[in-house]
Amino acid sequence: MTKEKVTFRDQSEKILLINTWFRIFLISVIVGTFLYKIIVSPFDISAIDFSAFNFSDFLSLILAIFSIGLSVSFILKLMKPQINFMTIHKNLLKMCQQFLDV
């Protein structure tokens, strides 16, 4: 077996690779810390008291979840025309560039 040396075309590829691995490491450390804190923390299900949870609290919870869902659906609906606009704009810029190169 022969080991092939990995070569980079330029310095930016090497920096991009290092940044990617650094991000993976950083996200792993943060997630690991949160998971450790969740596992180690004492949690007693009997300490939660639902006797003070009224109908008005339930109604406000349902309305809050509904409003979040409505906002997310509105944003997703607005992203489709924006993506179409960006692709049309990108194609137009390519055509202009080809026209100017001639």
Asked, for residue 55, whether it belongs to a domain, the answer is no
- pLDDT value for 95: 87
The string of DSSP codes covering the chain is --PPPP--SSHHHHHHHHHHHHHHHHHHHHHHHHHHHHHHS---GGG---TT--HHHHHHHHHHHHHHHHHHHHHHHHHHHHHHHHHHHHHHHHHHHHHHH-
Q: Domain range for residue 35?
A: 10-40
Asked, for residue 47, whether it belongs to a domain, the answer is no
Asked, for residue 23, whether it belongs to a domain, the answer is yes
Asked, for residue 45, whether it belongs to a domain, the answer is no
Are the C-beta atoms of 19 and 13 separated by less than 8 Å? Answer: no
Asked, for residue 21, whether it belongs to a domain, the answer is yes
Asked, for residue 60, whether it belongs to a domain, the answer is no
Asked, for residue 51, whether it belongs to a domain, the answer is no
Asked, for residue 54, whether it belongs to a domain, the answer is no
Q: What is the pLDDT along the chain (102 residues), one digit of tens a residue?
A: 566 665 666 777 777 788 888 999 999 999 999 999 989 988 777 777 778 889 999 999 999 999 999 999 998 888 888 888 888 888 888 888 888 876
Q: Give the chain's domain count.
A: 2
- pLDDT value for 3: 62
